[in-house]
Amino acid sequence: MTERDLGRVRTILVATDFSETAKLALERASELALDHSARIVLVNSLAFEPLPIAGPELMVLPQDFDEQLRQASLRALDSLVANVVRQGIEIEAQLESGPAAAAVVGAAERSEADLIVVGTRGNSGFKHLLLGSVAELVVRDARCPVLTVHPSDTTSLDRISCVLLPTDFSDDAAHVVERLAVLFAGRVSGAELKLLYVYQLPVMVAPLSGFGSEMPVLAEDALKMAREALDPLAEKLREAGFAVEVLGREGDPAGVITELASSLRVDLVAMGTRGFSGLKRVLLGSAAQRVVQHARCPVLTLRRGDA
| R_g over Cα of the chain | 21
C-alpha span between 96 and 186 (Å, rounded): 34
Please tell me whether residues 118 and 228 are part of one structural domain.
Answer: no
Report yes or no on 123 lying in a domain.
yes
Please tell me whether residues 125 and 166 are part of one structural domain.
Answer: no
- In sign, the C-alpha dihedral spanning 47, 286, 299, 35 is negative
Highest mean pLDDT among 81-90, 161-170, 205-214, 226-235: 81-90
What does pLDDT average to over the chain?
A: 81
Report yes or no on 157 lying in a domain.
no
Report yes or no on 43 lying in a domain.
yes
Please tell me whether residues 71 and 184 are part of one structural domain.
Answer: no
Please tell me whether residues 300 and 213 are part of one structural domain.
Answer: yes
Q: Place 5 in a pLDDT band, splitting at 50, 70 and 90.
A: low
Highest mean pLDDT among 111-115, 196-200, 233-237, 239-243: 111-115
User: Where residue 232 sits, what CATH number does that domain have?
Assistant: 3.40.50.620
Report pLDDT digits (tens) over 21-79. Answer: 999 999 999 999 999 999 999 999 987 655 555 555 556 667 787 888 899 999 999 99
Task: Name the nearest CA neighbour of 97 among 45, 49, 138.
Answer: 45
* 8-state DSSP, 98: S
What is residue 269's three-state secondary structure? Answer: strand
- Residue 31 domain boundaries: 3-50+65-149
Report yes or no on 56 lying in a domain.
no
Does residue 98 register a pLDDT over 60? Answer: yes
Does residue 101 register a pLDDT over 80? Answer: yes
**Beta bridge partner(s), residue 40:** 12, 91
Does residue 120 register a pLDDT over 60? Answer: yes
Please tell me whether residues 264 and 170 are part of one structural domain.
Answer: yes
Report yes or no on 237 lying in a domain.
yes
pLDDT at position 203, please?
Answer: 52
pLDDT at position 232, please?
Answer: 86
Report pLDDT digits (tens) over 192-224. Answer: 999 998 877 655 544 545 544 444 556 667 777
Q: How many domains does the chain divide into?
A: 2
C-alpha span between 267 and 162 (Å, rounded): 5
Query: Residues 229-253: what's their mean pLDDT?
Result: 87
> Which stretches does DSSP call E strand in the chain?
11-15, 39-46, 91-97, 115-119, 146-149, 162-166, 192-199, 243-250, 268-272, 299-302
Does residue 86 register a pLDDT over 60? Answer: yes
- In sign, the C-alpha dihedral spanning 293, 201, 260, 266 is negative
Please tell me whether residues 199 and 242 are part of one structural domain.
Answer: yes
Please tell me whether residues 113 and 141 are part of one structural domain.
Answer: yes
What is residue 148's three-state secondary structure? Answer: strand
| Domain C-terminal end among 149, 173, 204 | 149
| Domain C-terminal end among 99, 121, 149 | 149
Report pLDDT digits (tens) over 153-165. Answer: 877 787 789 999 9
